[in-house]
A = this chain, B = another copy of it.
Amino acid sequence: MHVARERQHNPLGLSRRSLLGGAAATAGAVTLAGTAAGPAAAASTRTVDVAIVGGGLAGLTAARDLVAAGRTVAVLEARDRVGGRVVNLPLANGGVTEGGGEFIGPTQDRIKALADSLGVATFTTYNTGKNLLYKDGKKTPYATDGILGSVPPIDAAGLANAAIVQASLDDMAKQIPLDAPWTAAKAAEWDKQTFESWLNANAIVPSAKFLLDVACTSIFSAQPRELSLLFVLFYIAAAGNESNVGTLERLTDTANGAQESRFVGGSQQVPIKLAAALGDRVVLSAPVRSIVRSGSGYVVTADGITVKARKVVVAVPPPLAARITYDPLLPAARDQLSQRLPMGSIGKAIAVYDSPFWRADGLNGQVVSDSGVVRSTFDNSPPDASYGALMGFIEADEMREYDAAGVDEVKAAVLKDYATYFGEKAKSPTSFVLQRWDNEGFSRGGPVAYAPPGVLTEYGAALREPVGGIHWAGTETSTHWNGFMDGAVRSGERVAKEVLAAL
């Protein structure tokens, strides 16, 4: 267990007890959370129309829509909090920062509509001043935006090459049918190679390859060698709404991109408020162990509670859905899909200072680096800049290197990088929080499950295909903003419609 998890923020004061019905609240499930399936002594039982596995944005959104349609639901959440990969972390100074998904940008319409409906406001990510390129041991500030923004200070050949590569990727992405990438005319060709193989043939100038590598690890928390080219193209194309196909630049940019804005009070405000409205329909500390068909419905067994339901929504990432016992067994296509979509490797490190001192140096806090444990940073200070916060992503190879390290070791490595980028002051934060998703039992990586070569073409059709009365949600099932909070919300809305039509 790591530091951050021990003190997760809960600004509305929701407790397990306050979200639970009386019977479940006494089942003692809290003591079982994250541990073994024990004998379910004194387990409570509920009977509802729809059991929802997972209290992240997808599951909670599905619950909201089903309840609005007059259906009864129970949301079974494994953790002692809602939000899944979206979590607020309290800071020693009384502030709050985010350990998971935090940004919102243009065309992310559904998370925006949800946040609006709950009264959660947004503010613009700090983006004034220059970015910093750290490469070959040299710092170069530059006036641009995003990893692949207009003029990063690399050689002209690299810039030209990167521009061509970016345009090629966007052009190929336009050929991807978002609801069935495996039907693209060139799907077989694109799914038989790693993104690395394609980059090796196309990003031939080293500085261009560097930019693409950083973009890749920043987006997927996986190295280019781990990803199918087809999956990368799908993910790019999905970075938009129904009337606006995605681009690589929209994925990587701050202004006009996926990192454009943040949520006042922290992104977890959205799932927390959504859960509060659902009241005791949400059961915390209830990891689901089995989904068993019973007559025309299902019995869903979690630690401390059993739910009988006509339909089930599984709204957790595919590799975790595979860890539930299904009876009858899932079809081979669905099971083997879930064996083939691993989670990326990601952590976030937030260092807090009395002030965002880098701003005085004309820097916006955004770094792109070729070395260190943190190679991409953001200014995570609050809107009023009453204190400073540097947030750094630890991704893919770097995260794996530090997965088993102690917090102090990670902290030392991170602060060394921050000092390299922003000066000695960065070595003395007033506090430091670390969120390591690889070590979270109910995530085991992040931000999203990705597809290696050959998976989408052979198994993609099983992503959303219901199995009897079991329906699938989660950002990994979304055709827009797959992997993002917006995709999670969209998947919840889609699955609710699907279930309502089937009920």
Contact = CB atoms under 8 A, between A and B. Distances in A.
A416 interface: no
A342 interface: yes
A53 B272 CA distance: 40
A458 B331 CA distance: 30
A37 B34 contact: no
A359 interface: no
Contact of A194 (B36, B223, B453): B453
A331 B224 CA distance: 24
B333 A400 contact: yes
A474 interface: no
A35 B327 CA distance: 5
Given A39-B39, A322-B322, A332 B301 contact: no
- Oligomer: number of copies: 2
Contacts of A192: 194, 196-197, 200, 224-225
Given A193-B197, A445-B339, A452-B453, A333 B403 contact: yes
B225 A454 contact: yes
Nearest to A318: B339
A198 to B, nearest CB: 9
A193 B191 contact: no
Given A194-B193, A194-B197, A400-B333, A339 B319 contact: yes
Interface in A358-416: 397, 400, 403-404
Interface stretch (A10-18, A104-112, A178-186, A436-444): A436-444
Chain A contact residues: helix, strand, loop or mixed = mixed
A45 interface: no
Interface pairs A-B: 9 shortest CB-CB: A36-B290, A332-B438, A192-B225, A332-B403, A339-B342, A226-B454, A452-B452, A35-B327, A225-B454
A501 B204 CA distance: 51
A34 B329 CA distance: 8
Interface in A317-361: 319, 322-323, 325, 327, 329, 331-333, 335-336, 339-340, 342-343, 345
Contact of A289 (B36, B335, B404): B36
Given A322-B323, A332-B444, 16 more contacts: A36-B289, A36-B327, A37-B290, A192-B194, A192-B200, A194-B197, A194-B454, A196-B453, A226-B452, A226-B453, A323-B323, A329-B439, A332-B404, A336-B345, A336-B400, A453-B453
Interface centre among A222, A319, A459 (most CB of B within 10 A): A319
Contacts of A37: 37, 289-290, 301, 325
B444 A335 contact: yes
Nearest to A290: B36
Contact of A292 (B36, B224, B436): B36
Contacts of A118: none
A40 interface: yes
Nearest to A32: B327
Interface of A: 34-37, 39-40, 191-194, 196-197, 200, 222-226, 289-292, 299, 301, 319, 322-323, 325, 327, 329, 331-333, 335-336, 339-340, 342-343, 345, 397, 400, 403-404, 436, 438-439, 441, 444-445, 452-455, 458-459
18 contacts: A34-B327, A36-B325, A39-B39, A223-B458, A323-B323, A331-B403, A332-B403, A332-B404, A332-B436, A332-B439, A335-B444, A336-B343, A336-B444, A336-B445, A400-B458, A400-B459, A452-B452, A452-B454
Nearest to A437: B332
A445 to B, nearest CB: 6
A27 to B, nearest CB: 13
A224 B223 CA distance: 20
Contacts of A36: 289-292, 299, 301, 325, 327
B342 A336 contact: yes
Contacts of A336: 342-343, 345, 400, 438, 444-445
A225 B340 CA distance: 13
Contacts of A289: 36-37, 289, 325
Contacts of A40: 39
Contacts of A454: 194, 222-223, 225-226, 452
Nearest to A445: B336
A291 B224 CA distance: 35
A468 to B, nearest CB: 13
A289 to B, nearest CB: 5
A445 B289 CA distance: 22
B339 A444 contact: yes
